[in-house]
């Protein structure tokens, strides 16, 4: 942890899953469950019994994590990953943080993740499925993003009124190429990291702008639809492609707020579903 901090590194953090099966048995993603968002957070300070990290922020919107929420953390160095259990202690101000900061309990121990699993196997996390298409005409996203905004406004109004969320309507599509599947492995302030299997990664070498539909299962009544630009790629030890993409709202800026609101709602839902840890 000290080495990561000295190098200006990050932790990957997710709300601890309290449902479903042990992910050590399978690498399959269960779309019926609420999907878990893994946030990449910069370490800003190490204390005797805690680590201070920048709070999750999406498109300028602070994503709060409640005190006492159980979390799964991971340290990644190259192709190696270590995971641990922790909890949110409190919010804090720190001069080294660009955004609000939060304090996490230092783990008593860390466990090395097995390379053949793409997930945090003992943590039971369920990473979101993503449908991706090369975007052939970026201007064609306007109608699709407006429809997504309208659908979210309808869902949000129903949730605020205490009514069930209406069934998701079929969304119009922009002008796109052939679809390929991906998994969302982490999320940051303005974009996402996707894992794409080798058989599906050819589009990443031919295109730079994509239309994404991110399914968050029980934590979100409708998928997040967003335009994203490819920033970088690299291969992991299993020859799968990791792709870093940044969200793009060039042709319909109001869609930025809708996407931030959907992600914030998913995080609130995830925290509400967590069963408190038993008293020692």
CATH code of the domain covering residue 41: 2.30.110
Same domain as 94, residue 156: no
Same domain as 237, residue 119: no
Least confident window among 142-151, 163-172, 182-191, 192-201: 163-172
Query: Looking at the predicted structure, is the pLDDT value of residue 196 above 60?
Result: yes
Residue 57 lies inside a defined structural domain of this protein = yes
Query: Looking at the predicted structure, is the pLDDT value of residue 265 above 50?
Result: yes
**4-13, 44-53, 243-252: which has the highest mean pLDDT?**
243-252
**Between 175 and 2, the higher pLDDT residue:** 175
Please identify, among 83, 98, 123, the residue that sits at the C-terminal boundary of a domain. 123
Same domain as 137, residue 164: yes
Residue 140 lies inside a defined structural domain of this protein = yes
Task: Output the pLDDT for position 208.
Answer: 97
Same domain as 265, residue 141: yes
Task: Output the pLDDT for position 259.
Answer: 95
Residue 278 lies inside a defined structural domain of this protein = no
Task: Output the pLDDT for position 110.
Answer: 75
d(CA 82, CA 138): 39
**Mean pLDDT across the stretch 242-249?**
97
Task: Output the pLDDT for position 24.
Answer: 33
Query: Looking at the predicted structure, is the pLDDT value of residue 118 above 80?
Result: no
Indicate which CATH number applies to the domain containing 246: 2.40.10
Query: Looking at the predicted structure, is the pLDDT value of residue 161 above 90?
Result: no
Find the helix or strand (DSSP H, E) in which 24 lies: none
Classified as helix, coil or strand, 171 is coil
Task: Output the pLDDT for position 25.
Answer: 30
Residue 277 lies inside a defined structural domain of this protein = no
Burial 213-231 (b: 16+ CB within 10 A, else e): bbbbbbbbbbbbbbbbbbe
Residue 280 lies inside a defined structural domain of this protein = no
Least confident window among 71-85, 104-118, 206-220: 104-118
Same domain as 157, residue 102: no
DSSP state of 218: G
Task: Output the pLDDT for position 65.
Answer: 93
Please identify, among 123, 141, 173, the residue that sits at the C-terminal boundary of a domain. 123
Output the six-digit token pair for 149. Answer: 């905004």
Residue 279 lies inside a defined structural domain of this protein = no
DSSP state of 135: B
Task: Output the pLDDT for position 27.
Answer: 41
Task: Return the closest-CA partner of residue 120 out of 192, 189, 71, 180.
Answer: 71
**Mean pLDDT across the stretch 79-94?**
85
What percent of the chain shows pLDDT beyond 70? Answer: 85
Same domain as 156, residue 221: yes
Same domain as 245, residue 134: yes
**Mean pLDDT across the stretch 28-55?**
80
Same domain as 145, residue 81: no
Same domain as 109, residue 90: yes
Residue 185 lies inside a defined structural domain of this protein = yes
Task: Output the pLDDT for position 60.
Answer: 85
Please identify, among 123, 140, 162, the residue that sits at the C-terminal boundary of a domain. 123
d(CA 56, CA 38): 10
DSSP state of 33: S
d(CA 231, CA 244): 6
Domain hosting 11: range is 2-123
Residue 69 lies inside a defined structural domain of this protein = yes
Same domain as 163, residue 60: no
Number of domains in the chain: 2
Same domain as 155, residue 50: no
Burial 248-275 (b: 16+ CB within 10 A, else e): bbeebeebbebbbbbbbbbbebbbeebe
Task: Output the pLDDT for position 123.
Answer: 47
H-only helix segments in the chain: 2-6, 141-160, 202-206, 255-272
Task: Return the closest-CA partner of residue 54 out of 5, 103, 124.
Answer: 103
Q: How far is CA 188 from CA 11, 42, 61, in A?
A: 11, 10, 12
Same domain as 187, residue 57: no
Q: What is the band of 113 on the pLDDT scale with cuts at 50, 70, 90?
A: low
Output the six-digit token pair for 56. Answer: 């999750």
């Amino acid at each position: 942890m000290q080495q990561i901090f000295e190098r200006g590194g990050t932790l990957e953090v997710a709300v601890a899953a309290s449902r479903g099966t042990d992910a050590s048995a399978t690498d399959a993603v269960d779309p019926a469950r609420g999907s878990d968002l893994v946030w990449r957070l910069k370490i800003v300070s190490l204390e005797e019994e805690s680590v201070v990290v920048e709070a999750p922020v999406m498109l300028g919107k602070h994503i709060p994590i409640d005190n006492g929420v159980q979390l799964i953390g991971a340290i990644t160095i190259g192709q190696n990953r270590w995971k641990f259990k922790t909890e949110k202690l409190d919010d804090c101000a720190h001069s080294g943080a660009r955004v609000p900061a939060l304090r996490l309990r230092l783990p008593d121990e860390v466990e090395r993740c097995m390379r053949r699993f793409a997930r945090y196997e003992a943590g039971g996390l369920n990473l979101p499925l993503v449908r991706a298409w090369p975007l052939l005409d970026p201007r064609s996203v306007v109608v699709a993003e407006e429809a997504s905004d309208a659908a979210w406004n309808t869902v949000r109004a129903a949730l605020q009124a205490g009514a069930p969320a209406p069934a998701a309507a079929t969304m119009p599509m922009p002008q796109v190429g052939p679809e390929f599947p991906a998994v969302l492995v982490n999320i940051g302030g303005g974009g996402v990291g996707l894992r794409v299997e080798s058989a599906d990664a050819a589009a990443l070498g031919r295109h730079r702008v994509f239309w994404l539909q991110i399914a968050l299962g029980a934590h979100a009544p409708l998928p997040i639809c967003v335009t994203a630009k490819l920033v970088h790629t690299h291969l992991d030890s299993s020859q799968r492609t990791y792709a870093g993409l940044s969200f793009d709202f060039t042709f319909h800026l109001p869609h930025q707020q809708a996407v931030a609101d959907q992600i914030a709602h998913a995080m609130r839902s995830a925290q509400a579903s967590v069963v408190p840890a038993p008293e020692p």
